[in-house]
Structure 1
């Protein structure tokens, strides 16, 4: 048996950014267009008018201040209200593979590895741009890796579930090195015309390199334990399945074909599930709350994270113990906890323990307990 370790991470951040102010201006312009178009029905009481959004409402509801997207022009056009993603030919790299490639190269460089060292590529994301061939196999080909590759989807928990799958294979000895990539174009399945959720998501891609700890040459995180759990629920759902935003003849304009969420039920049901999951995982591994130096939680909502952090630690987390990135990135589905880990982990000392946790649709929850190690010292 081998001990798996995370030796490198990478984050691809799109060049285009939408602030809450920009988003609210576009959304409220759409509301004016909608209410004017349906003025007669609204006056007759047959249709409810849409209500304005505001920066104050968004930040209070989520803690989000801005988000990065692959295309902002379509999102901010009141007559469009979705990203305009160019249809690529079959001979071109797919947009998700292109995003993943950037993050993957960062992770390899940090670990001091090349594509030739990778035995497995897993593309784990909440939505994929096509059913097949697997995006992971395309990333494998673009990088020049050997071995094998496959896609997986566990919604917002995709990254932690993929880390467990990769770690198990490293531990068993069937592979030496695995690359997990999480390209999330959440803007493509968000309903930007719905006041209750139009602010939630952003786009990003992350990558995590997992290999045998004995092979690690630099500072790294030993994977002490992983744990995953699922419980079916309809409270977070997307019936579209794959990334598709075209709306010919209104066929794909059904509201249930995009992201939908019953926020109140999600809060009520997911928070205790996640808190208990983390507590049970830590107890099983003999990790005391006082020994936990860092919590890298799923970046969906600041209120949710504050609640979970307090439950896990038994007190309000100190600044830095539970870093948030959603104020800048918004909810990036499976990539959120990995962004937090990538950006806020280098300062931990050898021997420090931390925990990555993601949760979301399914319901699903995945956690990874890590221990920091210094770079190997050559004799």
Structure 2
């Protein structure tokens, strides 16, 4: 990814077009030359957008020069703003859906396909961290329900889900006092981490570091309280949303993903108004962040959620109440 002279605080950020190439669960990345900015680190291919050049044209030119491919179809994926000590950057990230040629390090740089699960073990520039998190996001976001089983009783079904492949969990226990919640969160975090899963707390962001958790999930009330991202880029930030305005607020905060609900009727809120798939799809189309569908979701709804533009399903009762948690989680985690 070519870069120019470092910017000053008064200048505009360096605007860079970035391409994501995926194939069979793998992503194509390149390694920066040792004498370049952020030298020796792996990165997603792309480069500086020249004056008067639109983003897609710049992306096509850069990937032709760097990888020897001709991009035929691509769509906007996300934007990342990051401030290094010596420069500010704006990454305009696109997913490449169709191209001609075989990608390779045309300029002599190391270039390889890596499985998405391998990427966290590699060294990337700090600006690439939000991209890595989004690529990692699984199709299933589990939400805890200790009230159903009791605190100790919930550990067994949770571990069964983790063994079956669940990798993203929200601890949501609004009935617990803070001290009890944080003690429980430390226990759940250890269990999740033993299985390679990430735990987000539906709590104040300050609880995250105290509990060795991986991030925060902002409920509707907390979402409105912040004007900037409440945790740094080393942690996850997610948000509960119910409208276009709440999705915009999640975007303004730099949230990594949102949960949009309720899509369908739920047993916990009988008779409550729902979005339905048509409205959910419209909202997803305007959201500049990944969105999970929540509310009355069943395992068989995943394909429909993907068609509506969702990252996947967020689930509570339908998972924990399933006759076979393992079968339900496996069906979703492997999709």
TM tier relative to shorter chain: under 0.3
